[in-house]
Structure 1
């Protein structure tokens, strides 16, 4: 399955396995661990494996995440957004403004490399020296690329019980982010049908 940096960012809010929601960016330690886990996706921007988050960086990333989640909610509309923050989403115009502002914090210019025996490779050249600025700007640009690309049309909020993830639909019949969510959703539907049938039987006997 293809990985997108923007999707990885919003997925730091997730089901905790016990019926609740957990936040992978709730602490500086968790934020550092998440940044380092994205080293391959950030390889063209900075050496993420060497970056340690402080509280200021954590707050910048979580505020950017709020913006991206609000825009993900807009992208899946009129279907419902993730239930994790559906009641407290940042207004879409505010989210868009914040995203663009953060992306602009790092001035970059496109450069192309083309070896004699290879194919053209594009990269962004930056003059920004502060790695924390480069990181947050790279996350914002990744969100812009995702939301302006074709994968936006396949973005969905998983509707399985307790799941709060967004995912990109890979095939026409896909309803959930992963098989375990599909199993849980089918089990919940079966349980609901059984309850309805039982209630109907009880009513019939009473009548």
Structure 2
């Protein structure tokens, strides 16, 4: 899901909180890695303005994710830095509407036909990226899987994930292991 990868550009590492989109080089690398789904040329190069606009959208989407997981806790990464719900909702909807997207059939000479979602009108890279990511957020948050959205409760984890089965509590096996180790440590320390 593009929207989950997008909000996961903020993550926790052993060194602390890491933001993939913290600078133009990071935005460029992330855009190139997702060029196909974002409708970008493989040689895409971000500008500082584009990076700021995309980060602003990410923070708005993270604000909507925080609202979606309530009354459970939001991600601890940046909950105190997120825009208010009304502002976030308006920004996501405006970004999704700014560049209408349409399906296009692509059929290579040596392959099967495939549908690719592309901008229906000319648009800047920034508008195209934000429209695609905002549309992904709208589809996810308005769809049936939104009820399974969770913020990972493992120590130091800041990711959101979709709960795939009833017993899943964490975003990954490593987070589950870290949470169990922390719980074990607390029991033995307090006991």
TM-score, normalization by structure 1: 0.82
Q: Which of residues 103, 107, 110 is equivalent to 2:100?
A: 107
Q: Is the 8 A contact 1:160 1:181 kept in 2?
A: yes
Structure-1 residue corresponding to 2:132: 138
Instruction: Determine helix, strand or coil for the equivalent of 1:156.
Output: strand
Q: Which of residues 45, 48, 53 is equivalent to 1:52?
A: 45
Larger Rg: 1
Name the CA distance, whole Å, in 1 between partners of 2:34 and 2:105.
Answer: 24
Instruction: Determine helix, strand or coil for the equivalent of 2:161.
Output: strand
Structure-2 residue corresponding to 1:35: 31
Assess, with a 3 A threshold, how the Cα gap between structure 1 residues 125 and 84 changes in structure 2: closer, same or farther: closer
Name the CA distance, whole Å, in 1 between partners of 2:36 and 2:168.
Answer: 27
Name the CA distance, whole Å, in 2 between partners of 1:165 and 1:111.
Answer: 31
Assess, with a 3 A threshold, how the Cα gap between structure 1 residues 195 and 89 changes in structure 2: closer, same or farther: same
Q: Which of residues 12, 19, 22 is equivalent to 2:18?
A: 22
Q: Which of residues 166, 174, 195 is equivalent to 2:189?
A: 195
Name the CA distance, whole Å, in 2 between partners of 1:129 and 1:114.
Answer: 20
Query: Is residue 17 of structure 2 the alignment partner of residue 13 of structure 1?
Result: no
Corresponding residue pairs, total: 187
Name the CA distance, whole Å, in 1 between partners of 2:61 and 2:127.
Answer: 17
Name the CA distance, whole Å, in 2 between partners of 1:142 and 1:50.
Answer: 23
RMSD: 2.1
Name the CA distance, whole Å, in 1 between partners of 2:118 and 2:62.
Answer: 25
Name the CA distance, whole Å, in 2 between partners of 1:91 and 1:190.
Answer: 37
**Which range moved further: 80-89 or 120-129?**
120-129
